[in-house]
Homo-oligomer: A and B are copies of this chain.
């Protein structure tokens, strides 16, 4: 049944053939073809590669972009709150913020109410860079995904991903 269906994965390796002549570059992926986790991982890597390429002019990784979006939408939060909301561990968030702050995209300000906390704020430059990044993401990255998937499949995919959020 792996041979009865023509998947993109099998198309990569070589053209379809009626006789199963073992050409050197054709692999049988077996149950990996139907394993959601495997296909998911490969797709995710490609999507991140494309994101990085599309936003290369602004030198922002997907993770950095997600931090800037969270800072814009949730001003006045401290480091721990932003980090955990994004699934980033607090120790690992320190160097991430260092990198963004050294580029003057955000700044840490001591909370007047709790001097242990650093409230993280977008700078004007950060707001400007984020605005340009959003435009690149929308017009290049997401546009390319839309062209490949179509509006219907894009919406369907988001709906399924939302289901998986409770996994």
Beta-carbon contact of A66 and B87 below 8 Å? no
- Stoichiometry, copies per complex: 2
Q: A31-B69, A35-B137, A69-B32 are in contact. Are A9 and B47 (CB under 8 A)?
A: no
Q: A30-B72, A36-B142 are in contact. Are A167 and B47 (CB under 8 A)?
A: yes
Interface residues of A in 123-167 (CB under 8 A from B): 134, 137, 141-142, 144-145, 148-149, 153-154, 156-158, 160-167
Q: A36-B157, A66-B32 are in contact. Are A43 and B73 (CB under 8 A)?
A: no
Interface check A50, CB cutoff 8 A? yes
Q: A37-B44, A69-B31 are in contact. Are A160 and B157 (CB under 8 A)?
A: yes
Which one, B7, B28, B36, B50, contacts A47 given CB within 8 A?
A: B36
Interface check A51, CB cutoff 8 A? yes
Q: Mark A41-52, 1 if CB is under 8 A from B, else 0.
A: 111111110110
Which DSSP category, helix, strand, loop or mixed, fits chain A's interface?
A: helix
Beta-carbon contact of B70 and A145 below 8 Å? no
Interface check A89, CB cutoff 8 A? no
Residues from chain B with a CB closer than 8 A to the CB of A42 are: 87, 165
A contact residues vs B (CB 8 Å cutoff)? 7-9, 11-13, 27-32, 34-48, 50-51, 62, 66, 69-70, 72-74, 77, 81, 85, 87, 134, 137, 141-142, 144-145, 148-149, 153-154, 156-158, 160-167
